[in-house]
Amino acid sequence: MGERIFIRLLGAVTAELHRGLAAEQVDLGPARQQTTLAILAAAVARPVPMSQMIAGIWGEDAPRNAEQSVYTYIAGLRRAFEPGRGRREPSRVLAGTPAGYVLRVEPAQVDALLFAERIEEARRVQRAGDDPQAVRLLDEALAMWRGTALSGLSGPFAETERDRLEQLRLAALELRAESLLRLGRHRDIVEELRHLTRRNPLRERVRELLMTALFRSGSPAEALQVYEEGRVLLAEELGLSPGEGLRRCHEMVLRADAAPAPSAPAPHETPHQLPRPLAEFVGRSAEISRLTEWLAPGDATSPSPLVIITGPPGVGKSALAAHVAHLAMDRFPDGQLYVNCRGATPELPALTPLEVLGRFLRALGVPPGAVPADLDEAAAAWRSRLHDRRVLTVLDDAADLAQIRPLLSASLGNTLLVTSRETMSWGEDAVQLELARMSPAESATMLANLAGANRISADAGETARLVRLCDGLPLALRIAGARLAGRPDWSVSTLASRLSDERTRLHELAAGDLAVRSSLAASHTALERGSRPVDRLAARMLSLLGLLHVPEMTAEVAGALAGVTSGEAEAALERLVDAHLLDRAGPGRYQLHDLVRLFAGELRPRDWRGPLIRALSYYAASARLASHVSDPHRTQLAAPVDAVPHEVRTADEAKAWLRDEEAVLTAAAVQAMDSPDDTIARLGVNLVFGLLWRQERAFHIAEMKELNTLALRVSERLGDEAGAMVAHDHIANALRLTGRTDEAVSHLRSSLELARRLGDAFGEMRALGNVANAYNSGERYEEMLPWAERQLALATSIGASVGVRYALLMIGLSHLGTGRPEKAVKVLREALAEAERAGDASNEGQIRLVLGEAHLDLDDPEQALRYLLRARELFETSGYRIGRVRCLIRLSQAYRMLKDPDRALSYVEEALADGGGLGHAVWERRLEEERAAVEEERGAIEAGPCP
């Protein structure tokens, strides 16, 4: 259709829909809907998970119905951008994926991204010496701003992104000023820089540029005054002295008054010590671009005296450093120095700073006998040798800051390029790149370079599997490529199959002197030998983390594993993060990459059983407590566990914890139930039962069936009839919700038999009600009535008020399904009174929903709305998704009866945005029928009366 969207964030958030030469402004709706678009636009072409959307819009103040609100915003944006899209037609602009929502536009269609691209392009041409073109590009970029970015929006994302964009705008203004200064236009920008300095009084770079412009314009006294004002402000506001750049600028102005012309430099040795770069180096284009920019020789505008590359073992830090150092050689004409500092070489001690300085001074021409034996004297001699020179010094595999600090030169034009497994916090003089694992495409290219392109491309699926098994780690990929190259008879599938066995994967990832295991072991050994208690606890913690096969972990479960406080555990986890043996997965959450996890598994201590039981007990106790706090009226089916649980005080906190931890708890339960150890397996079953509330409310039916099937198998193996009874009950619930009524009833009969054998009247009562509900879901309303009546009789006799309420609800549903709505209303009002007396909001929502349905059958949509709107609020509070979808369908029907199909459509769209019928056969069909009915009525209204 030739339509093109353009989104503007550099001012008020707006969007235009371009059709040919015409442009139409898009109505983006309320502020939070605009924030939703801004979040998607900033991540263009990448999926944004629901949790990230909620955090960006509300942060910690998210309402109970946050997910539902986001669904509404998404539906609103889809209508705004694609007003003519049919209900069955997928959105071309805003797609839903398993990983989140994706805005399908190009970066050039978002002004903020286009702005950033222009700045990067300006940097490139500026480095190439084309300052006039850089100024033109930066003027174009700055002209895109229409006021304050994301004007009028609030919330965590808007505030953070607004600050980030403002910093980017300031960087663009600084770049423009640098180019104008080099073009001799210093007088043209004095006023602009004065204004920028007033707006950003603590930004030292702007103050440096203003001083330079004033000095070159013949106002050195004013330049010195600008420095003094900055010095005083930094001291008073931040307690800091001026940075090196500002101090150098100050010295430049002072030297211009009286400094003699420098004498010709004495001849020096010119060392060339860089190691040979890898011939098969691939990828890392973004990292290379950043590093080469930082390695530009220091001058009055952009010095980078210290460049640090950090990352996990085997990620390719040394190879990248050697590669970029060779690319930058011509920028350091006075030499390139290199040393392996041996920071992670277990068999050799790390080099001392004095040893490193001695090597370098000798390389620079100092006679061996003249090299100082004192560290301070050697450092002073080093700085003297580097004065007025441009030298690149590579410190590979540095142990820590203490090892490199004496080598940092104050002389302009010299750079230290450091690689380390440790995260280093240096300060303003340093720039740091954290090297991540390689992308799948880069990984495949590396394998093709090593083993042959035809061989790697012959089976894309097996190549992708091999890349996954190598965990994106260049060391592992190099080993895999070398093994394939040395075995022409092996296919990619052969090696992938050998690596797929986790028990031998680290053994397979070895070739010659290269081995993933030894690379990881070096980091672990360094921690074991560390001088601080936290180092040794971190080394022990790594061996314990391998016991749990979960996607993420927190300090609380780590503390349970190690038998320490969560504060001590957090310190150890953060130490592992600094050593790049553990990754942060979010605030307070951590994860092991696959190869590190396998290595940690090899470190399993002899007393592994106790730590694992403590961790699983923590999970089981926490899940049980959170389920109870989420809905105190539901019966707790998980047994009590002797462990300190995660503390949750409110229902909202409990629901949020269960939502965040569901994948972790599921993985822990599966691991435990697979164990031959009876105690561990029983904890796994207990975990499954603690998860039931969350899975039912979130409608995670496939997971519920799978986990309870495992729980049934384990309970039968352990002779645990009570556990088997509960598992049968919930397998039946999952089958009921997917339309498999007879299979559900079969499991419920087994549950009923076990309850009677155990003398468990409550379990028997629950099973009777669930048989009634199974027939209800299968629309077999006559068959459900006797089961509901039997439940009511038993619940009344044992005084189980929850059973009475549930049985009355089932009886009401039976009357409604058999065409007796008046009778249903009578019974349901009795059930509603019981639910309100008990304060059972979840049960009240279900009863109000059915009362609404009954009044629809009685042709009373106004009364139906009273019940349905309140039911919807209760479902949103409890998070009961299928109840919410049912309620939305009935609200649509009510508004159709009131001749308001547009309002009806909004409820259908909300139900579709929430996942349709969520896999429930009956409600999938009813939702589709309702959608068709609404569309038909809207079409009839738009067509008007027949002529």
Within a domain: residue 617? no
Per-10-residue mean pLDDT for the chain, 947 residues long? 80 82 78 94 87 90 87 89 76 83 89 92 86 88 88 90 90 91 84 89 90 87 89 83 84 58 42 77 84 67 73 86 87 86 71 86 78 85 84 88 80 83 73 87 87 84 90 85 82 89 82 74 83 89 92 93 92 88 86 86 89 94 89 72 88 88 93 94 93 78 90 95 94 89 95 95 94 92 95 94 92 94 94 90 90 93 92 84 86 91 86 63 75 78 47
| Residues 391, 536 within the same domain | no
How far is the C-alpha of 908 from the C-alpha of 673, rounded, in Å?
Answer: 41
Q: What is the pLDDT of residue 301?
A: 46
By C-alpha distance, which of 149, 183, 153 is closest to 168?
Answer: 149
| Residues 479, 531 within the same domain | no
Within a domain: residue 693? yes
| Residues 149, 170 within the same domain | yes
By C-alpha distance, which of 743, 732, 798 is closest to 765?
Answer: 798
| Residues 587, 470 within the same domain | no
Within a domain: residue 404? yes
Q: Is 242 helix (H, G, I), strand (E, B) or coil?
A: coil
Containing domain of residue 472, as a range? 440-512
How far is the C-alpha of 167 from the C-alpha of 161, rounded, in Å?
Answer: 10
Q: Is 307 helix (H, G, I), strand (E, B) or coil?
A: strand
| Residues 499, 389 within the same domain | no
Residue 358's domain is classified under what CATH number?
3.40.50.300
Among the three residues 454, 479, 512, which one is the final residue of a domain in this structure?
512
CA 927, 928, 930, 931 torsion: positive or negative?
A: positive
Residue 725's domain is classified under what CATH number?
1.25.40.10
Alpha-carbon distances of 553 from 550, 588, 589, 611, rounded to whole Å: 7, 9, 6, 14
| Residues 756, 853 within the same domain | yes
DSSP type of residue 593: -
Q: Write the single-letter amino acid at 627.
A: S
Among the three residues 183, 207, 231, which one is the final residue of a domain in this structure?
183
Q: Which two tokens stand for residue 853?
A: 């349905």
For 639-694, give the DSSP string: PP-SSPPPP--SHHHHHHHHHHHHHHHHHHHHHHHT-S-HHHHHHHHHHHHHHHHH
Within a domain: residue 81? yes
Give the number of other Cβ atoms within 10 Å of residue 725's Cβ. 26
Within a domain: residue 377? yes
Q: What is the pLDDT of residue 216?
A: 85
Residue positions counted in the chain: 947
How far is the C-alpha of 33 from the C-alpha of 853, rounded, in Å?
Answer: 32
Q: How far is CA 375 from the centre of its chain?
A: 45
| Residues 492, 600 within the same domain | no
By C-alpha distance, which of 930, 933, 937 is closest to 912?
Answer: 930
- Which residues, in sequence order, are CB contacts of 1 under 8 Å at separation 6+? 19
Residue 69's domain is classified under what CATH number?
1.10.10.10
| Residues 828, 742 within the same domain | yes
Among the three residues 590, 605, 620, which one is the final residue of a domain in this structure?
605
Give the number of other Cβ atoms within 10 Å of residue 468's Cβ. 15
Radius of gyration (C-alpha) of the chain in whole angstroms: 34
How far is the C-alpha of 432 from the C-alpha of 324, rounded, in Å?
Answer: 14
Q: What is the pLDDT of residue 265?
A: 34
The total of structural domains in the chain comes to: 6
**Which residue's structure tokens are 């880069």?**
442
| Residues 719, 839 within the same domain | yes
Evaluate whether 646 touches 556 at the Cβ level (below 8 Å): yes
Q: What is the pLDDT of residue 772?
A: 96
Q: Which two tokens stand for residue 61?
A: 């103040």
Evaluate whether 920 touches 739 at the Cβ level (below 8 Å): yes
Within a domain: residue 548? yes
Q: What is the pLDDT of residue 913?
A: 77
* Strand pairing class (100-103; 306-310): unpaired
Q: Is 104 helix (H, G, I), strand (E, B) or coil?
A: coil
Q: Is 589 helix (H, G, I), strand (E, B) or coil?
A: strand
| Residues 32, 159 within the same domain | yes
| Residues 586, 475 within the same domain | no
At 36, which helix (H) or strand (E)? Answer: helix 31-42
Within a domain: residue 927? yes
How far is the C-alpha of 137 from the C-alpha of 119, rounded, in Å?
Answer: 7
CA atoms within 13 A of residue 543's CA, in its CB half-sphere: 19
CA atoms within 13 A of residue 376's CA, in its CB half-sphere: 0
| Residues 842, 719 within the same domain | yes
Q: What is the pLDDT of residue 266?
A: 35
Within a domain: residue 147? yes
